[in-house]
Structure 1
């Protein structure tokens, strides 16, 4: 947590369905300074949100970026739900196309030593969800 805060992260987009950390994700809320924001968008593990719910997630990320916040998007493993949200955000803003998004996600995850060998997104449904996402959506 200290490394994230030192790198400038001040907003946490939590995609886990364990809203308060629960038994799957260690509760980190008490360790954050009061200046940090935690925004929760629960998505069932190894699943996909509805299109409407993904738009809410992406709108929140954009709103935080617009006011100078530095968001950290995460789920439990940082692969499936996180990769799905980041992939859709990249396509939304024209940083990737459906043809290039998976290669870009792989490139962005090179620093993930533990999970770097696992594909992101994690499931065929998540992959299809990203590939169907559209610029500006």
Structure 2
């Protein structure tokens, strides 16, 4: 069993929020996707940005306004939003007191697709070697 303790977590201020990266998990597991817990400070907003992967946010606590492209929506605990590839997005904490906390899960980046191709190729190679034996 592997455990990441919150008290020992490596949290960095990135994209305008406190970000605790969960996966990939160094020296434990390197999946084809990534995840992090993000916390937007009261009255602040994540930096508008975009990237070449797919992403979803699951709101854990707090209230915020999500902006994806030209669309805007208020989100709260339990709400889920999907962010398409290369869409500029930001998440504003509308509370002056409480943090806005969400889980971000991202996948299908060019790097992960190359990694998947490599895994598939290595399995195909091992199958062809076994077939020849």
TM-score normalized by the length of structure 1: 0.30
- Bigger-Rg structure (1/2): 2
The structure with the largest strand share of the pair is 2
The structure with the largest helix share of the pair is 1
TM-score normalized by the length of structure 2: 0.30
